[in-house]
Structure 1
């Protein structure tokens, strides 16, 4: 009887709050399109490449060059010359000399290469690179113009992981290198680390082997914003252990002017480290959470406010699903000014710390600012404050997503989303936001995002692009990286074995069918007065038509094309992003 009552309650709840349905694409690009996309597989004449493939690790666009970090190599691609093919203009080869030592330590030969895991600009002239170097991490500086090495090698420990499968992030901010990775051979010491600041600037790190600070994290992104450096990652939730190892998504921050603690407490450790949970969930009487962060954008503007957008998935042992959520930076800051979380006993539940028990200056403050304005250095902070922050790095409240709900969810698909990149200035008037989402099965979804709750139109999936091509790539179909090249109307999609250049739109396939062109709702497509559908060119703002918001009535002339019916139209109430 009790089970029947519970089932009835759940049934009523389900009826009262409908779960958002998956968006359906207005159009698709199949394998017949992907076979035309230019690709790059590395040095096909190289024996190692023939055996192992490209082994993509990271890519970054700097000015008009795309730098691709792989195994033993960094390739520099001139974007202006890569419209019809991807041919590196320059190549950096950096092979390990420690392969013999690596195999002696019991590692497989395929692991004993130099996987380039860090590739970031140090300044306008220098590129900073670190590689696993056969389980002996090493860093170098290179000239951006020529890829020639500058200066001597540096120890890569705590700046670069020991093996290629470990996630890591790195960023230069205010002259320091901030890294987050595993800092030991056994991969047991996760660290957020600051170094390379020059003489007089202490090297700082997170507290070692303290699960309250970091517990099996997977680092994903780092950004500089205001007085802080932010880190985005997922980790085992130390505050939620009743059901085993549950993964939560986090955002953490440290002050850029942090100098470490006193000689008694937190010396050479962060005094400003705070972290909070990112809440990406479908609201209702019972929330449905997407807990595992997979990828996050850099800071963009949403509703005239700085924000980030991330891809989240469900727990490993949960119903498969993905969601896209956005977070305002000022909302993140508000949470960091809120209550702290604590566990008073090893077996007791976690609770918020009463405000009267929080010392002054407020833990997590930057020296010389706010409640810590009287202190010129964090080393001068009282021991009571340092002891508190060491034991209480976790905030009680989680960061709510924009509009308290995902921009979109995917729960009926057999694959999960893995990567995200955002174009906030899409369309002829630079006023549309389009997000590109990579997936586990080699597809890229192009989505027109709506973030303003006052607008009538909803988030719309414009296109499902089949990118992975077995004739160009081998092995894993998981999308590992996305990089936009707006100037040349391209999206670079990275797989382990190859890089694919995908046009941002396929407007020409609509030909001289006005109905189909307008119905695509694609900000990158315009209907010209000359009677054709074309890709938007930079600066082109006159003599065209668009129907991005779906405001025009469905045209009677469909030009004998196969399009989704009005009942299936993604901007209808049935298939909106939420509701």
Structure 2
């Protein structure tokens, strides 16, 4: 049996190892796996405003800064919201649902009538100074319409949208209106190939699909216009860049991925060819975007979102992209930054060719025609009489037709990602540029996740520092769209259920100078008294900020240290709490100025992320304990405890309860007292106040008795049921020794069951001591006299007990002492336990500890007594006393 059990354990370990290897087939780069500094739950969001209606799937947004309007497209409706406060009641609505006939035809196509057979607004942009242009899927029969901006109504009959909008609400799609011309990229028909099109006005252009298909199962995520003609010495043309992921075509030995990220471009002035490439792009070129960590064998091939930030010149334009892994069972994201100059160099490099349609593409080494294929019309071509693309020679156009792919790949700036997150899937991104107090320009990124979080980060020296992570929704849902408004100082987030508006920064969240500086938020600065928003502060020269290092500038500032006291009895455990607001901070404890060394059990201390545990306190452990926050190599004192370890504290004198304070009749009171289990008296240690009169104290006491009594009843029912299932020899009795014999750890069944009348022993198993990363722990703690030898989560293990044949009622409860007469005096248990006695489960360096939350007090009243003493009265002496023959319900 032992061999079989050992084999089972080995098989389980092997299975776990295989599952881990399958789920995460890579190592983690610790320098890039960034942790957000501050975590804010949805209940703690500041300045948050929300908009929601009967519509769902808020997927498209358009911000008009001049009119202070935020236009939102959803399923079956569009909205015009007040950009300064989207929750205001002044929202305008356009209802645009698919007709019943269109929904019926959608069902006949085999589509889902719960998600697809609706009119999802996929496109909403400005067309001219008076109208917007809007397109929707319309139950797999797309339509587009013009919207009167002032009245916010559809101003004309909807027109055909099959060449402008995709059929499905989930198909990758991007589109732009440039000078009243619409450029879009998608898979338009559910049976067609993906395409990049200019739809209106004439001439319409498309990508080529024969003999060489230019796009191979492309999934588009974004597009951008770069006006390269502005200030151009060569009379170059403006270009539209498209970003997507498609099936790989290259043949290489360095990687083997089925899908790769791409960037493609077309010239705005392209008119197609005269005979060759007629109504086709003559300037289409594409190349690969790489975002990888070769030293870790990471290759992020799936492009999810792109944001373009313009620079002072077109060459200073930057592309920020969110990339994911090709494995669907692994959550991971990377953020890479590219420059336009690097993209232009790639389009000037060698071409790829495919001589045989059945083989992979290879680098072209033959002769390149003149003028260079894929270039826009420039002053040099105009001097040769080539003023439009229809004048290009046929050999140039034929070369473009067969060589759309470039060989050179676009590498990220600095050769590596700015950020890597192993447990996060980013979905959308927005970027803004802000000048810090040091005069440098910083790029601030806002990134939405697939489970409804928003990360704010700043780029510093080629890496991203995540300032904060904000929980936008209690129910996880993806971020579908993201916009930034500098004028409104807001960020707008669209999701399946609502639109959320948040301020660009929440500086008042930081309550001290060090907290403000450690955040490294370009929007925040310390003015000597509080952390303020830099944009709204009139005199920026008086503010303190350190974005580069996040450590300098607060030496002269006063940092308040909380002062607390603890009175602990010898042999008791005490937790000194220290909650750190920063996820990047490390707690450091000192006693009388010297750092507390050694955190094992023998040292008498145990350090956790939220406090220091004094184990079985000794008198020589008295002193002043200070918790410091260590962050960015700066140590800051947070809280100081004056701990006094005493030999003993006098118990309070017994006092008869005030029976006038009871609302029940005397007979009922006596009956209730006889039925109550024996419990430690806690009523006299509640803080005195008007709310805690003798009457309300009795109500609290009776409530506690009722709750604990109910728990005891439930426990009794469970024990009786277990005893019945184990089929103990005597009906109606439960033998703990018999149950122990049937416990799974036994190697053999017990044939005899003995009942011991003289003693009983109950063993409690804890989940502590040694824990793995999943929180699975082992270890055993025995409860003697109510104490834990080794702290942990309690788990009842059958032991021995005696059941009396006569059912005698439990002993009556002791009399209830009244509330102390001094109303202003507050009491602390000697061990630092709060009078309200809430239980808290603390995790201390892999060990779980069952503790009670502590309250602060400067002095200890002689009328207040130790909770441990009252518990000892019931369970007698710790570690060396057996339980009573009939265990009291309250002690269990």
TM-score range, shorter chain: 0.7 to 0.9
Q: Does 1:218 align with 2:227?
A: no
> In the TM superposition, what is the alpha-carbon distance from 1:360 to its structure 2 partner?
1.6
> In the TM superposition, what is the alpha-carbon distance from 1:426 to its structure 2 partner?
5.6
CA distance in 2, matches of 1:155, 1:275: 30
2:335 is matched with 324
2:281 is matched with 270
Q: Does 1:294 align with 2:304?
A: yes
CA distance in 2, matches of 1:23, 1:210: 46
CA distance in 2, matches of 1:570, 1:311: 29
CA distance in 2, matches of 1:112, 1:255: 36
> In the TM superposition, what is the alpha-carbon distance from 1:369 to its structure 2 partner?
4.7
2:469 is matched with 464
CA distance in 2, matches of 1:569, 1:207: 60
Q: Is the 8 A contact 1:491 1:504 kept in 2?
A: yes
> In the TM superposition, what is the alpha-carbon distance from 1:19 to its structure 2 partner?
6.0
- SS at the partner of 2:473? coil
CA distance in 2, matches of 1:388, 1:503: 52
2:97 is matched with 95
CA 279–558 in structure 1, closer or farther in 2 if over 3 Å, else same: farther
- SS at the partner of 2:105? helix
Q: 5 Å matches for 1:256-405?
A: 256-263=268-275, 265-284=276-295, 288-301=298-311, 305-316=316-327, 320-346=331-357, 348-354=359-365, 356-370=366-380, 374=384, 375-405=386-416
CA deviations 1:405-453 (Å, max 9, x no partner) are: 1111112x2x311111111126566832211111122111111112x56
Q: Does 1:26 align with 2:37?
A: yes
CA 86–340 in structure 1, closer or farther in 2 if over 3 Å, else same: farther
> In the TM superposition, what is the alpha-carbon distance from 1:558 to its structure 2 partner?
6.9
> In the TM superposition, what is the alpha-carbon distance from 1:283 to its structure 2 partner?
4.5
> In the TM superposition, what is the alpha-carbon distance from 1:468 to its structure 2 partner?
1.7
Q: Does 1:71 align with 2:75?
A: yes
1:565 is matched with 585
CA distance in 2, matches of 1:569, 1:231: 46
Segments of 5+ residues of structure 2 without an aligned counterpart are 1-27, 229-237, 563-578, 588-628, 634-892
CA distance in 1, matches of 2:181, 2:294: 40
Q: Is the 8 A contact 2:321 2:336 kept in 1?
A: yes
Segments of 5+ residues of structure 1 without an aligned counterpart are 1-16, 44-48, 471-475, 573-579
Q: 5 Å matches for 1:96-495?
A: 96-97=98-99, 98-110=102-114, 111-186=116-191, 188-197=192-201, 201-208=202-209, 212-225=213-226, 226=228, 227-239=238-250, 246-263=258-275, 265-284=276-295, 288-301=298-311, 305-316=316-327, 320-346=331-357, 348-354=359-365, 356-370=366-380, 374=384, 375-411=386-422, 413=423, 415-425=424-434, 427=436, 431-450=441-460, 452=461, 458-470=463-475, 477-495=477-495
- SS at the partner of 1:488? coil
- SS at the partner of 2:44? helix
> In the TM superposition, what is the alpha-carbon distance from 1:543 to its structure 2 partner?
3.2
Q: Is the 8 A contact 1:460 1:571 kept in 2?
A: no
CA 228–508 in structure 1, closer or farther in 2 if over 3 Å, else same: same
Q: 5 Å matches for 1:485-524?
A: 485-511=485-511, 513-524=512-523
> In the TM superposition, what is the alpha-carbon distance from 1:88 to its structure 2 partner?
5.3
* CA root-mean-square deviation: 3.1
1:546 is matched with 545
CA distance in 2, matches of 1:158, 1:210: 22
CA 484–143 in structure 1, closer or farther in 2 if over 3 Å, else same: same
Deviates more, 1:393-402 or 1:431-440: 431-440
CA 290–88 in structure 1, closer or farther in 2 if over 3 Å, else same: farther
CA distance in 2, matches of 1:436, 1:403: 21
> In the TM superposition, what is the alpha-carbon distance from 1:488 to its structure 2 partner?
2.8
- SS at the partner of 1:502? strand
CA deviations 1:226-274 (Å, max 9, x no partner) are: 22111111111122599987221111111111111122x2111111110
- SS at the partner of 1:357? coil
> In the TM superposition, what is the alpha-carbon distance from 1:535 to its structure 2 partner?
3.0
> In the TM superposition, what is the alpha-carbon distance from 1:507 to its structure 2 partner?
2.1
CA deviations 1:525-574 (Å, max 9, x no partner) are: 22223x122333446324322222225177694756613336998868xx
Q: TM-score, normalised by structure 1?
A: 0.83
CA deviations 1:153-183 (Å, max 9, x no partner) are: 3211121001211121111123311011122
The structure with the largest alpha-carbon Rg is 2
- SS at the partner of 1:297? strand
CA distance in 2, matches of 1:559, 1:353: 69
> In the TM superposition, what is the alpha-carbon distance from 1:67 to its structure 2 partner?
1.0
Q: Is the 8 A contact 1:119 1:129 kept in 2?
A: yes
Deviates more, 1:494-503 or 1:98-107: 98-107
Q: Is the 8 A contact 2:513 2:554 kept in 1?
A: no
> In the TM superposition, what is the alpha-carbon distance from 1:117 to its structure 2 partner?
0.6
CA distance in 1, matches of 2:547, 2:491: 21
CA distance in 2, matches of 1:67, 1:436: 20
Deviates more, 1:291-300 or 1:313-322: 313-322
- SS at the partner of 1:204? coil
